[in-house]
Structure 1
């Protein structure tokens, strides 16, 4: 599933291929996402939607607003609570 399709408040994990599309199409974006902590195996709490289709996401203690375009490129796996 893509990150933009995950339900609000869902806990998801980033699979090994999580940034494959971004790496292929926008290497600079993929690098920035890795710098922010978006790496395979990381668990991400999907927050509420905000303006323009962006979403608030939490990784560890850090919260980010991620735009809709980037969310569409990020693969995630739902984690059972």
Structure 2
């Protein structure tokens, strides 16, 4: 599954980033790296997503979202809808 397929309010763990080194570095600076748990807060235009990592929120465009592989994260404090 990729980030573009992730429903709103779902929690997911990043398992892979299919991007060039410069893009991976920028994503890492934002906290979006392998192992990070993200929550999709809303859908954006053209397949993008707004994601939250901790208190930080940022938008990921649709093309980039398709290149971020994720896996569901389930737990008592997280949404079971993924």
Is the TM-score greater than 0.5? yes
> If the length of structure 2 is used for normalisation, what is the TM-score?
0.83
> If the length of structure 1 is used for normalisation, what is the TM-score?
0.84
**Residue 77, structure 1, aligned to residue 48, structure 2:** no
RMSD over aligned Cα atoms: 1.1
Where do 5+ consecutive residues of structure 1 fail to align? Answer: none
Structure 2 CA distance for aligned equivalents of residues 55 and 2 of structure 1: 11
Name the SS of the counterpart of 1:47 in structure 2: strand
* The structure with more helix, counted as a fraction of residues: 1
Find the partner of 1:68 among 62, 69, 72.
62
Deviation above 2 Å: which 4+ runs of structure 1? none
Aligned length: 75
Q: Counterpart in 2 of 1:58?
A: 52
* The structure with more strand, counted as a fraction of residues: 2
